[in-house]
Structure 1
């Protein structure tokens, strides 16, 4: 549940950090509004003192003055926009980095939001929240413009000025009353859109297992339901927005029409001059800009506050553990009586120097195991430990230095294979060559300079798997977990990969867990753990386990 105090703290922090940008932006935009308000005054003055008197020198001076007024007006807006844009994007970057740091460092955060929602918050909501500084400057500038306009009208005619000073606050307060409605609708729309994005992301990531057990129709049905909920929320937000904008436009137009009508009546009575009438009509047309600006600020404020609340919820989410801890050493990877959807009391241990295979005909069981080890889910019961410390209690950076979980879905980042294999750790040419050859990627000179399109889209599925495997091997973590690393390669290449993997990872201090039903990989493991019904039903080497019909049915193809 969102805490309003957290949102207020976040908003207060935004304005404190960007107080200089906000103040300078508001100052220059206020100057722009003052100049805008003075344009009708200048035109009215020219008519009264130059046009009506046919004074050539006064006309020349008036032209120069109006030119200077427009020069100041334009530069004031551009300068204010520069200060506020810089402050907005700096703050958005800071919020984005804070959010990413909270998610990825320390012990992580406890949250019910899915990965797609977290991505939406860090990407779009951070920017929308940072735009609060622009809204503050716009509101301040609009108020200055309205104050100057009211002062000019009071000077020309007290009744017009007083009417405007009374009408504008009533109009703004009435529009402000619609703000909470827009904010609620917008928050619901953002929540629904985030859930739809998260559902789509999860379905794409899990498309292979969905196809495996025939869950595609159910996945489509769930996404359709989530998408329709998002559509309904979006339509509700758009209706609230349209109502708000319609009301603001109508009431502003009505106010302008009333001021113009009274001004014309006063001119006919001789209470004001023709130049003053033109000034009043120009101000009446101008006044719609700051009033609609205030109305738009109310609308945008609802959006930015909803986004700020989501960002604040993420930044102040409780950690998964009180503090991220360092494990005593690399130690063993141990699962003790783990219960979670797909697993029912699973227990296994991978000690340093071992390469252990986990074979299961159940895709949900394999998914559950890889997600537990990667931290994507927590066990309902039992423990998952590394070196005697629960994974959930480990500091993220420390955990990543000790264990790498390479998922089945391959993500490649870089313009060449060499860039993809750059893990940030200094590796010798011999290490790179060994990892490339173990992954059956070919000769070193022919491989690293191979150019990649976006995310390696110009590679085949098997090539992508082999690049990802080489990257994982090159990272050289004490504990390596591989999930189906050879499903897209041919049988000959699969045997080469199995031999290369065993050559690099067997023995020494390395611990390797291979979740797969590949016979060549399982044959190279020190031992194989056969999982059925969510628990270990047999343990042994691959050749011995093949005497079990259920194991043979699961791995032979």
Structure 2
């Protein structure tokens, strides 16, 4: 079974009860719809033609009762199926988001716009399989009831419809693969256009700075045109399916009405049966249109499910346990509450080549490099966003990129600041038990200490409303330094055993930077701090490095010789020209 079919099967299994109840209600609705021509034919033959007032009254009451059941069943079917569909779409969105956040894709690397397209449009179309299969089944039952009615009126006419209708449905089904390919192309092109737009908006300021706006517009115009052409192609395929279904329905109705009229002229059927036949043939247009629409919708659902399944294939999956393959040979994994070293052995990733690095429990380790690519590769590997080409990263014997125990003990705070929420309090909330914003009892006290250590308490006091002050999107109403201090406060409030910081003070003045350096050291490793905390700081700030227990200089002048390291205290390394040039600029 393909991943997309497996995903659709999981959707049906997860929502089987509401899907079956909704399908049953829809079947009752379609059956009543199919019996309406029969009821009208009986009224014409046994009440209107005879002029019996009592029979007319009973006939009107019976028709009204039939329509009452029909309407109630249809409304209940819509309510049940639509509710299941919306709940399943929500579930899929959460699953996709969890997969992206837990272990970002590293193989096919979907960009932000692609992920957004999958998490919104594709999850919704995938969940629509619940409604499509239910309506497809009920429409088929409705057609079967009409065929039986017509068969009882006239065997030849009924057999003709029993042969014509399946042929019609099979013919429409053959159009589905072509439509599915077109829809998949459309979805992929739309995702590419959204990804390009997201990238351009994220880099709008630098683009304006170096004059790259015309080239950016040209690139977006190209991908947008591709998306437009794919959408037009998908619309053409959809129109072909709908048009073929409508034309076939019209021909079927016309042929049935002509045959029934000929039978009535010959006296083989009476007026009531003629009304029944014409009404049943007219009704058949509705289930045929429904089946056509469902065939089209199923093609869309399969295409969307393929995209969702592809993204989930790069998601969390089966996470290895404490004795996973990431554990070194003969090395026991540390217990969850035990201080554990962060160890990199022979790690190669991009410009990093054969890096060996250890941060011991209780240590403040400074890492210095003037090569941005080196710093990006190291933070990417530590944060699980980049898979090493060789070597291992272990925290207490576990891979922090895959093992949930190790992941929960390590936090990598990147240089780029992302503040989420509508208030400062929401932006600072970590949502972890015991941390700021979490349900633990020490959360508020820890947040207060983190704000003081990062000098972000000044930012909070300066805003009207304090922690409840409004925060615009991306912290647009804060300066770069204020954003950086709040991000550092949030990282400290998360209170992880291992904290990795990337250039946390580049937007601060020297006086504030010195205050933050002292506060960081005191909060993580001063009196009263939990023992065994590890802090790694990637920086060239001498104020931060002077408060580190050990500093490692990374250089990669020659890719063939690998990443070279030089270790010592800040004071000792100042005698090295390369180190002095990096930190005393």
Q: Report the TM-score when normalising by structure 1.
A: 0.85
Alpha-carbon deviations, 1:319-366, whole Å to 9, x = none? 788724364253332333432224344443322333233333333222
2:161 alignment partner, one of 151, 159, 164? 164
Q: 2: distance between equivalents of 1:324 and 1:242? A: 51
Which residue pairs with 1:361 in the alignment?
370
1:290-329 aligned within 5 A: 290-313=287-310, 323-325=320-322, 327-328=333-334, 329=338
Given that 2:368 and 2:540 are in contact with CA atoms closer than 8 Å, whether structure 1 keeps it comes out as yes
- Name the SS of the counterpart of 1:448 in structure 2: helix
Alignment partner, residue 416 of structure 1: 423
Mapping 1:18-417, distance limit 5 Å: 18-96=15-93, 111-114=107-110, 116=112, 117=114, 120-197=117-194, 229-313=226-310, 323-325=320-322, 327-328=333-334, 329-392=338-401, 394-396=402-404, 398-417=405-424
CA deviation string 1:513-537 (max 9, x = no partner)? 2223445434443444344447346
Give the superposed CA RMSD: 3.7
- 1:513 matched to 2:552? The reply is no
* Structure 1 unaligned regions, length at least 5: none
Is the 8 Å Cα contact of residues 104 and 385 (structure 2) preserved in structure 1?
Answer: no
CA distance in 2, matches of 1:279, 1:525: 90
* CA deviation profile, 1:33-78 (whole Å, cap 9, x unmatched): 1221222333333334444444433333333222222211110011
1:147/1:216 CA distance change after superposition, 3 Å: same
What is aligned with 1:433? 448
Offset, 1:375: 0.3
Q: Is the 8 A contact 2:249 2:285 kept in 1?
A: yes
1:385-409 per-residue CA deviation (whole Å, 9 max, x = no partner) reads 32344444x512x123321011233
Residues 204-229 of structure 1 show CA distances to partners (whole Å, capped at 9, x for unaligned) of 66788999999998887776665555
**Contact preservation (8 Å) 1:498, 1:521:** yes
Report the Cα distance in structure 1 between the residues aligned to 2:235 and 2:539, rounded to whole angstroms. Answer: 49
Judging changes above 3 Å, is the alpha-carbon distance between structure 1 residues 318 and 522 closer, same or farther for their aligned structure 2 residues?
closer
Is 2:504 the counterpart of 1:485? yes
CA distance in 2 between partners of 1:258 and 1:350 (Å): 83
The structure-2 alpha-carbon separation of the partners of 1:104 and 1:234, relative to structure 1 and needing over 3 Å to count, comes to: same
Hey, what's the Cα distance between the residues in 1 that align with 2:422 and 2:379?
28
Q: In the alignment, is the contact (CA less than 8 A) between 2:27 and 2:137 conserved in 1? A: yes
- Tell me, in whole angstroms, the C-alpha distance in 1 between the residues paired with 2:225 and 2:267: 63
Partner Cα separation in structure 1 for residue 243 and residue 429 of structure 2: 55
Contact 2:104 2:314 in 1 (8 A): no
Indicate how the Cα distance of structure 1 residues 119 and 295 shifts in structure 2: closer, same or farther if over 3 A, else same: same
Q: 1:486 to 1:217 in 2, by over 3 A?
A: farther
User: 1:556 & 1:268 partners in 2: Cα distance?
Assistant: 106
What is the CA deviation profile of residues 150-175 of structure 1, one whole-angstrom value per residue up to 9, with x for unaligned ones? 12222333333222111111110101
548 and 264 in structure 1: CA distance in 2 versus 1, 3 angstrom threshold: farther
User: Matches of residues 530-541 of structure 1 in structure 2 within 5 Å?
Assistant: 530-533=553-556, 535-536=563-564, 538-540=566-568
| Structure 1 residues 222 and 129, CA gap change in structure 2 (3 angstroms) | same
| Paired residue secondary structure (2:290) | helix
The range that moved more, 363-372 or 481-490, is 481-490
- TM-superposed CA distance for 1:245, in Å, is 1.7
Q: How many residues align?
A: 551
Q: Answer yes or no: is the 8 Å Cα contact 2:106–2:386 preserved in 1.
A: no
TM-score w.r.t. structure 2 length? 0.81
Aligned residues of 1:110 and 1:320 also touching (Cα < 8 A): no
| CA-CA distance at 1:145 after TM superposition | 0.8
Pairwise CA distance, 1:5: 4.2
Offset of residue 367 of structure 1: 1.8
CA distance in 2, matches of 1:283, 1:542: 90
Paired residue secondary structure (2:501) = strand
In 1: Cα distance, 2:212 partner to 2:372 partner: 12
Using the alignment, how far apart are the partners of 1:455 and 1:319 within structure 2?
Answer: 28
What residue is the counterpart of 1:466 in the other structure?
485
* Pair 1:529-2:536 in alignment: no
Give me the whole-angstrom Cα distance separating, in 1, the residues matched to 2:312 and 2:357.
Answer: 36
